[in-house]
Chains A and B, each alone.
Chain A
């Protein structure tokens, strides 16, 4: 499984856009990039998943450059409730079962 590197923590203010970048230099051809969010004392929650280019849903956007060695999770106009730990995971194709390997994640603090 490809190793990922992301910032330990980030601070932001309400209403700002937050971009969290993840490096995954050893990503394999059949790997997808998935981001999870975790609030204290809760289970991780799926945010978004992509393979290449850009993916957008109602919560976030995921930007993946052509070489796929990094990806950026973009949270538009964050609110206090977006304070959480965000995990970038890289793993096999979405149609195969696999264990998720979580790193330390990025602890995002949104201030008023």
Chain B
């Protein structure tokens, strides 16, 4: 069964540093998403991406965040200057229309 993959599985960084979280969506999927889940809290939508541009973004997705599809397979989330409150699990998801969203295993980000 095809799956969404994410790297790294864990990332520890210092406050103020830039991080890039990487995702490889399912190959024939067209829509891509990032969600995050702070420990013990709900899964929150960050951004959706289609046709090389952002379709929708939440209030969380401020100027510190950016997404990119640098090639035909990867989908990245960049946090320019991390804050303590960015510590969370970050999930990438993709869907190919006619289906529901498939989630990756997540990247656990810890900002110190």
Contact = CB atoms under 8 A, between A and B. Distances in A.
B97 A41 contact: no
A46 B98 contact: no
A41 B38 CA distance: 11
Nearest to A46: B100
Interface string B33-61: 10100000011110010100001101000
A43 B105 contact: yes
A30 interface: no
B98 A97 contact: no
B102 A46 contact: yes
Q: Interface residue tally of chain B, by bracket?
A: 20 to 34
Contacts of A102: 42-44
B52 to A, nearest CB: 14
B51 to A, nearest CB: 11
B74 interface: no
Interface of A: 34, 38, 41-46, 49, 87, 94-97, 99-105
Interface of B: 4, 30-31, 33, 35, 42-45, 48, 50, 55-56, 58, 89, 91, 93, 95, 97-106, 108
17 contacts: A43-B93, A43-B103, A44-B43, A44-B103, A46-B101, A46-B102, A49-B100, A94-B98, A96-B97, A97-B31, A97-B48, A97-B55, A97-B95, A99-B48, A100-B33, A100-B35, A104-B42
